[in-house]
Chain A
């Protein structure tokens, strides 16, 4: 007998006499936050900051200058960008734009200072941004290897209050990366240290209107 058949047979024998399981009662809330976009955005801001992401707010007209300033402050000379990143976002940046390419090696990505992306969804209650590899987000590795990630969230369209509201908006067939604050470890005496392997700095731009 193959191990597959063996395991399935063992499972069937193990539960043969078990009572039928109850239907799952989804007796929990789909949101813990009032249905008010402004309040939800404020909560997102607060929770992102609580996990040590640097949060900025702007309107579309101010976005190119803001991104240019954030890159300059960081001293970035090269900035990685997914193919579908809206051109105006980097229009004022002094750093050289490097496109996300399948052929670039991990070492090449490691040499880049910063990366700018959009996102698929942001979750206010947990301070989370979710990337799904969409055209303005690129491959998973580009937001991982460089040390500085700037992520633009379009409010209110991309902002939801809670995890139960986020999942139906995401396609499980795409690879997803949920990010809540910068890379961190608490493995040494539970002292939180940022930037172990992923980006040390996460900057989130809340783009309103």
Chain B
């Protein structure tokens, strides 16, 4: 896939730098701990959480097993509702389709809803090369775009920035992109948000083309769903004349009813809210309400290759809630940039190498960017066994010529903690190998990995309890 971070150092190198950055670590720690504690509370309100989690997993597995049928059904429903469906085998094709669609409108500017798929394919850069300016309108994405930075978290892409840094970015750069920041802007979050509101509103009101992703696409009805908080999504989805949505094929769900599962699990897992402030659904175009033209670009870009891997395909269940990032001890220290991909954290460590292939140093190192503690699996609302996939991908990386062991040691060392806390590592491995027990044929891989060092005594208590008490 393109849109990768060219020249990016591998995880060990990037993480090594990140753990020495005190501001970054402080920003990350505050953020991940805040969300993770709130999330636990939001989830505990639903006594049927395990049932919802299992249903979410099953719906996604079923979709993936018959993805060909559901995609054809989706295409039919969207077309019947007045939309146009395009198919893009890779990033270049998707970018080309979108650029052509924008050019056909005669416009040179587009407003964008936060979307990981368009980041994945490097759409903004591709449009720029065609003389089209793409404005990010999510507050965090705006901070990232103005700061010429990269997102570091799925949900809160500017999580690595504190208010002082954001004030500085706004004051310095807003005038280059449109309405300047107000005089005397302070670092109060309300003032910063107000500056963004004023800056973006003039763009929303004149925009003729909007670009979005989608959280879900319902095959049965042709409905697309976008979940958000700020209302920038609603602006982009309803004010322009033309709407172009670029969506990974794995975002399909079979039925309208299936949304009852994900609209309960996604908000609670991601922002720890009972429901996010805004959810928009649309089915093709609607007479006299919203865009007159709707284009859906269905994106493969490595997804079918991922689907072909019997262990790895479960990564395609991901609904991008980001809960796994917030509980990951390695993410907390290394930060999102270290993963060298738009998908950071535990899900990034398994998704990016599968979407992109494992030829590059960064992709080969990603499956080692983990302690295998299992916390990511525990919180995942679609029960992706991330440790299982990590171990599986390590086997694949190691199969490429024995550099796995070196990468693993480097990743652990760079994350700056595990080797000093052998009990953590051992307990993490214990959890991981327990998971392995369910998949006996995977055991040799896991034990080859654990055999590579002397294991200290295992603590008598479960890892999660130990971690709660001892996390630094």
Interface residues of A (CB under 8 A from B): 2-4, 6-8, 10-15, 17-18, 20-29, 32, 47, 51, 102, 106-107, 110, 123, 125-128, 133, 139-141, 144, 163-164, 167-168, 172-191, 193, 195-199
A106–B239 touching, CB < 8 Å: yes
Which A-chain residue is minimally distant from B81 (CB atoms)? Answer: A173
- Closest residue of chain A to B238 (Cβ to Cβ) is A140
Cβ of B304 and Cβ of A7 under 8 Å apart? yes
Q: Which residue of A lies closest to B53 (CB)?
A: A28
Query: Does B259 lie within 8 Å of A167, measured CB to CB?
Result: yes
The one of A11, A27, A175 that contacts B280, using a Cβ cutoff of 8 Å: A175
Which residues of the other chain, B, contact A182 by a CB distance below 8 angstroms? 277
With known contacts A167-B259, A197-B230, A177–B66 Cβ distance under 8 A: no
CB-contacts of B262-280 with A (<8 A): 263-264, 267, 271, 273-280
Q: A144-B234, A144-B238, A174-B286 are in contact. Are A28 and B48 (CB under 8 A)?
A: yes
Point out the residues of chain B lying under 8 angstroms from A139, CB to CB: 238, 288-290
What are 14 A-B residue pairs whose CB atoms fall within 8 Å in the complex?
A2-B87, A3-B300, A28-B48, A126-B274, A126-B275, A168-B257, A175-B238, A176-B279, A180-B278, A181-B277, A184-B230, A188-B139, A189-B27, A193-B189
- What is the CA–CA distance of A95 and B62 in the complex, to the nearest angstrom? 54
CB interface residues, B 319-339, toward A, < 8 Å:
none
Compute how far the CA of A2 lies from the CA of B170 in the bound complex, rounded to whole angstroms.
45
Choice from A6, A28, A125 contacting B52 with Cβ under 8 Å: A28
Q: Which residues 153-170 of B sit at the A interface, judged by CB distance below 8 A?
A: 156, 158, 162-163, 166
Besides the known contacts A125-B274, A183-B231, 9 further A-B residue pairs in the complex with CB atoms under 8 A apart: A7-B87, A17-B310, A28-B52, A126-B274, A141-B239, A177-B279, A185-B229, A186-B156, A196-B197
**Which B residues are in CB contact (< 8 Å) with A128?**
275
Evaluate contact between A188 and B72: CB separation under 8 angstroms: no
Q: How far is the CA of A184 from the CA of B231 in the complex (A)?
A: 8
A193 CA to B163 CA, complexed, in Å: 13
Interface pair B88/A3, CB less than 8 Å apart: yes
Cβ of B19 within 8 Å of any chain A Cβ, yes or no, is no
Q: How far, in Å, is B383 (CB) from chain A's closest CB? A: 13
**How far is B290's CA from A196's CA once the two chains are assembled, in angstroms?**
21
Question: Residue of B at shortest CB range from A165?
Answer: B260
- B286-A22 in contact (CB<8A): no
Pick the 8 closest A-B CB pairs, nearest first: A198-B231, A28-B51, A10-B304, A126-B275, A14-B308, A197-B231, A178-B279, A14-B307
- Nearest chain B CB to A102 CB, angstrom units: 5
Shortest Cβ distance from residue A126 to the other chain B in the assembled complex, whole angstroms: 4
User: Chain A residues near B62 (CB, 8 Å)?
Assistant: 21-24
Residue from B61, B232, B281 having most chain A Cβ neighbours under 10 A: B281
The answer to whether B274 touches A175, judged by C-beta atoms less than 8 angstroms apart, is no
B residues in contact with A197, CB < 8 Å: 137, 197, 200-201, 204, 230-232, 234-235
Asked if A144 meets B156 with Cβ closer than 8 Å, knowing A7-B249, A29-B48, the reply is: no
B414 to chain A, nearest CB (A): 26
CB distance from A33 to the nearest CB of B (A): 11
B189 touches A24 (CB 8 A): no
Q: Which A residues lie within 8 Å of B289 (CB)?
A: 133, 139-140, 175
Q: Are B197 and A186 in contact (CB under 8 A)?
A: no
A186 to B324, CA, bound (A): 19
Are A22 and B277 in contact, CB atoms less than 8 angstroms apart?
no
Identify which of A12, A15, A27, A32 contacts B64 (C-beta below 8 A).
Answer: A15
B46 in the interface (beta carbon within 8 A) = yes
Given contacts A7-B304, A11-B304, A133-B286, contact A184 B48 (CB under 8 A): no
CB-CB contacts below 8 Å: B189-241 with A: 189-190, 192-193, 196-197, 200-201, 204-206, 218, 221, 223, 229-232, 234-235, 237-239
A20 vs B66: C-alpha distance when bound (angstroms): 9
Q: Does B67 contact A (CB under 8 A)?
A: yes
Residues of chain A with a CB closer than 8 A to B259's CB: 167
Q: Check A127/B231 contact, CB under 8 A, given A8-B68, A14-B307, A175-B286.
A: no
Shortest Cβ gap from B428 to chain A (Å): 27
Q: Are A175 and B282 neighbours in the complex by a CB distance under 8 Å?
A: yes
- In the bound complex, residues from chain A placing their C-beta under 8 Å from that of B140 are 185, 187
Q: Does B261 contact A (CB under 8 A)?
A: yes
CA distance A102 to B261 in the complex (A): 35
Q: In the complex, what residues of A have CB within 8 A of residue B166's CB?
A: 188
A117 to B362 alpha-carbon distance, docked (Å): 52
Give the CA-CA distance A147 to B362 in the complex, in Å.
Answer: 46
Min CB–CB distance A14 → chain B (angstroms): 4
B175 surroundings in chain A (CB, below 8 A): none
Contacts of A144 in B (CB 8 A): 231, 234-235, 238
For the complex, is B30 an interface residue (Cβ under 8 Å from A)?
A: yes
Task: Give the contacting residue for B67; candidates A11, A32, A102, A168; CB below 8 A.
Answer: A11
Instruction: Name the one of A18, A164, A193, A195 contacting B260, with C-beta atoms under 8 angstroms.
Output: A164
Given A163-B260, A179-B278, A172 contacting B283 (CB threshold 8 A): yes
